[in-house]
Structure 1
């Protein structure tokens, strides 16, 4: 699936964002990809795809993934 105006992912995804995807677009992608993913619900598929998008430099608006919290052990 191709997003409008995005040909490939960012070289530095933390600093450079190449596009945005909405929750509705994310849900449509998750519905299409659900049979290929190792999960059973749309919500978990959306999380997997949101993680992939984040690693490509595509911003999900509003955010689906929570930032990791570092804890001292």
Structure 2
């Protein structure tokens, strides 16, 4: 099984907030986004990178430097 496009990990994390299973660089993220752009529901490379970054975050893979900001909870 090829694992190079997933940060060199076999499986995603069971708890992606607490347990990180890998790390990719911004250049690796850009390469993955360029490959996936035709299949994604977006038109720019930047938006494709954000989609891939979100998927990576849900798998427990960090991106260095971070692309996504953590959401802040607000009391309403």
Partner of 1:2: 3
Map 1:1-73 onto structure 2 (within 5 A): 2-3=3-4, 5-73=8-76
Equivalent pairs counted in the alignment come to: 73
Q: Quick check: 63-72 or 14-23, which moved more?
A: 63-72
- The gaps in structure 2 that reach 5 residues or longer are none
Which consecutive aligned stretches of 4+ in structure 1 deviate over 3 angstroms post-superposition?
Answer: none
- The gaps in structure 1 that reach 5 residues or longer are none
Give TM-score scaled by structure 2 length.
0.88
Give TM-score scaled by structure 1 length.
0.91
CA-CA distance at 1:72 after TM superposition: 2.8
